[in-house]
Structure 1
Amino acid sequence: MAPPSSSDHPAAAAVEAAGAISKVLIVIAMQTEALPLVNKFQLVEAPTDESVFPKGAPWTRFHGNYKGLHIDLVWPGKDPVLGVDSVGTVSAALVTYASIQLLKPDLIINAGTAGGFKAKGAGIGDVFLATDVAFHDRRIPIPVFDSYGIGARKTFATPNIVKELSLKVGKLSTGDSLDMSPHDESAILSNDATIKDMEGAAVAYVADMFSTPAIFVKAVTDIVDGEKPTAEEFLQNLIAVTMALDVAVTKVVDFISGKCISEL
């Protein structure tokens, strides 16, 4: 991802040359998280027979125009066998890859819910803008491969968004499990993470590959180092926290409207 200065990002230079940001891609993991934003931005679902995605892919795309921006919102859809949201790094990476290739966004927003660590200042309903991302469950104990597995990278710097919207900031750690094993806990501590999710670092990996600026807006549904079981607390808070996520993402998009990439 980008170094601290946004203007140094190779994709930023290309977008800057074209003027104001015009195409925003929102990548989101769950239908419950996606639908409030679909309604807020008055997006319409692309019919199956007009889908830009390959035949057979369960990925869903909503699109429309909002305050001078063309917004595409994509989510990986439902597992065709089990009927649950296709969460996790594989689905997130695939739909991000396809969306970058086919929709060519100026900027990606990966929005979603996350677990938070009270020891790092996170509370239920807090919304964070991730400053860094890394994986915590790709353990490859071989020199250099170990760093590849962690995949630590800076996110695209947006100091003006942070200042204007008074969002919390913190490092994000990503893995494919909702719970936290002792191995994962050790890796998350090494990543110095404030929040953990199941998609962010995978989206960042693909965005980095194709030099597309990406930012990560995460709302806390459960306290990982708290007393309640993670799954129970996640389900208990999902709807209410999704509303907080909806408000935060709307404010971010409102801020982006009419601005160049260097103004973020």
Structure 2
Amino acid sequence: MAPLQDDKAAEVTEVSIPKRPISTVVFIIAMQKEASPLVEKFQLTQESNSVFPNGVPWVRYSGKYKDLNINIVCPGKDVVLGVDSVGTVSASLITYASIQALQPDLVINAGTAGGFKAKGACIGDVYLASDVAFHDRRIPIPVFDLYGVGTRQACSTPNLAKELNLKIGKLSTGDSLDMCPQDETAIVANDATVKDMEGAAIAYVADLLKTPVIFLKAVTDIVDGNKPTSEEFLENLVAVTAALDRAATQVVDYINGKNLSEL
């Protein structure tokens, strides 16, 4: 079971909030199918002169939308197997590289996720995550256990959540699509409504580099439902990605012209 956080472990590093309007936004999106509708919506172009190291498969789209410089960064295709490079390792790397190179005012991790009907989640729901944690880093040694769970808070956005009527829930992250009994126990302890394969890793890097981050997660499958997760995920991916696209566009429209404290 994920351990309870003590006061020191739960302490969130304070992020300096600039008073000027948000200027540069970086979306971290794991799958190309999740990113494509937003690339089209914001009329972004793929950058040929990469700010990233030579040889990595990472892809960056950029452009101007209203008063915002929008970047969408994807980990690209695995160079051997040709599938989307999902998971915490790729997410950590592209988040670090993107923050270093682009110096965003705000990072948005947008993507699909599994949801729990026991917590009220339904297919197509879009959640704004309040807290994120890992559920598959089991280190049963004092203090290391807290490090493994790695609970962090997302950037506080009460006005955005209220204005857009987004559901709020906790997000739990692991590197497997399925859920073994040990993961389930940890997810319950994390009080999670949705689970993904990137969020907590992105939160770790953003916290490390003192960059505000928010999480938009659209539910493709009901983890505690009757259908196999992989089957339900593929069945709903296109429709749910459209819902994610609408929510992400609304978020961008809302933050345009505002500073972080106004969110």
Asked if the contact 1:172/1:196 (under 8 Å) is kept, the reply is yes
Q: Secondary structure at the match of 1:11?
A: coil
2:260 aligned partner: 261
2:131 corresponds in structure 1 to: 132
2:37 aligned with 1:36, yes or no? yes
For the residue of structure 2 that corresponds to 1:194, the secondary structure is strand
Q: Aligned residue for 1:85?
A: 84
CA distance in structure 2 between the aligned counterparts of 1:161 and 1:176, rounded to whole angstroms? 29
1:113-192 superposed matches below 5 A? 113-192=112-191
What is the distance in 1 between the residues matched to 2:227 and 2:13? 41
2:5 match:
none
Secondary structure (helix, strand or coil) at the match of 2:27 reads: strand
How much does 1:9 deviate?
7.2
Q: Is the 8 A contact 1:87 1:198 kept in 2?
A: yes
Question: Aligned equivalents of 1:183 and 1:126: distance in 2?
Answer: 26
CA drift at 1:60: 0.2
Give deviations 1:187-234, integer Å, cap 9, x for gaps.
000000000000000000000001100000000000000000000000
Instruction: Give the Cα–Cα distance (whole angstroms) in 2 for the partners of residues 11 and 135 of structure 1.
Output: 21
CA distance in 1, matches of 2:140, 2:212: 30
The corresponding residue for 1:227 is: 226
Alpha-carbon offset, residue 54 of structure 1: 0.1
Secondary structure, counterpart of 1:25 in structure 2: strand
Contact 2:13 2:207 in 1 (8 A): no
How big is each residue's C-alpha offset from its partner over 1:70-115, in whole Å with a ceiling of 9 and x where there is no partner?
A: 0010000000000000000000000000000000000000000000
Residues in 2 aligned to 1:109 and 1:195: alpha-carbon distance in whole angstroms: 16
Determine if contact 2:37/2:242 at 8 Å carries over to the other structure. Answer: yes
Question: Partners of 2:259 and 2:91 in 1: how far apart?
Answer: 27
Q: Which runs of 5+ in 2 are unaligned?
A: 1-11
Which of 8, 11, 32 is 2:15 aligned to? 11
Tell me the SS of whatever aligns to 2:69: strand
1:130 aligned partner, one-letter code? A
Distance 1:65 1:168, change over 3 A: same
Shift in Å, 1:153: 1.2
Match of 1:21 in 2: 22
Contact kept, 8 Å, 1:12 with 1:262, in 2: the verdict is no
Equivalenced residues, count: 252
Percent same amino acid among aligned pairs?
69
> TM-score normalized by structure 1?
0.94
Q: Which amino acid aligns with 2:164?
A: L
Q: Please report how far the alpha carbon of residue 12 of structure 1 lies from its aligned counterpart in structure 2 after TM superposition.
A: 3.8
In structure 1, what residue type is equivalent to 2:245? D
Q: Name the counterpart of 1:54.
A: 53
Cα RMSD of the aligned pairs, angstroms, is 1.0
Q: TM-score, normalised by structure 2?
A: 0.95
Q: Which runs of 5+ in 1 are unaligned?
A: 1-7
Counterpart residue number, 1:99: 98
